Amino acid sequence: MTILVVATGNPGKVREMQSYLADFGWELQLKPPELDVEETEETFMSNARLKATEVAKATGEWAIADDSGLEVRALGGVPGVHSARYGTTDANRIERLLRELGDNSNRQAQFVCAVAIARPDGSIALQAEGTCPGEILKAPRGSGGFGYDPIFYVESEDMTFAEMPPETKKRLSHRGRAFQALLPQLKNLET
């Protein structure tokens, strides 16, 4: 079984990625805790590629990384690659976003997820991106999910991410769509 180091310290992200990659014979592992890669790039894909490359080179194993966030059209794509650093807590980030958006009638937004897999030498083997369009509500709804999920409304489902059953969110989400684009490429990957 080929080891695939996940460029995160979050065990929940490893479990989530394992659910997408279950049929491919990878053994997913967390990156070493002392290995920290700063996200310094301007795009989600560049950050995913950077993290995958650095973790692969440091461990000598295959590595996978993702970077994701929320882009709000009326705010010029903000918070974008800074989504996680837009505040100190989920509630603080939501409050700031709603305050900055104010009464703007353009509430269009999208979640973006970029995924990259690097070979043990750090070269990028595969990459994919997924998006999920939606809009920002004026107040949170739902108790599931995390981050901006309570204010991200998906019209086709008439629900926020925080109101969706996990399987629905997995199918529609930006991360789910990124992995849907990545999986066909994985079938042809020589490990």
Catalytic residues: 67
What are 1's two structure tokens? 């079984």
> What are the beta bridge partners of residue 116?
65, 127
β-sheet with 26-30: strand ranges across: 26-30, 2-6, 62-72, 108-118, 124-136, 152-154, 159-160
Backbone φ and ψ of 117, nearest 5°: -120, 130
Alpha carbon of 90 to those of 12, 27, 95, 143, 147: distances in Å? 17, 31, 9, 12, 5
* Among the listed residues 94, 96, 161, the one whose alpha carbon sits nearest the alpha carbon of residue 132: 161
Using CA of residue 4, residue 121, residue 32, residue 171, what is the dihedral sign?
negative
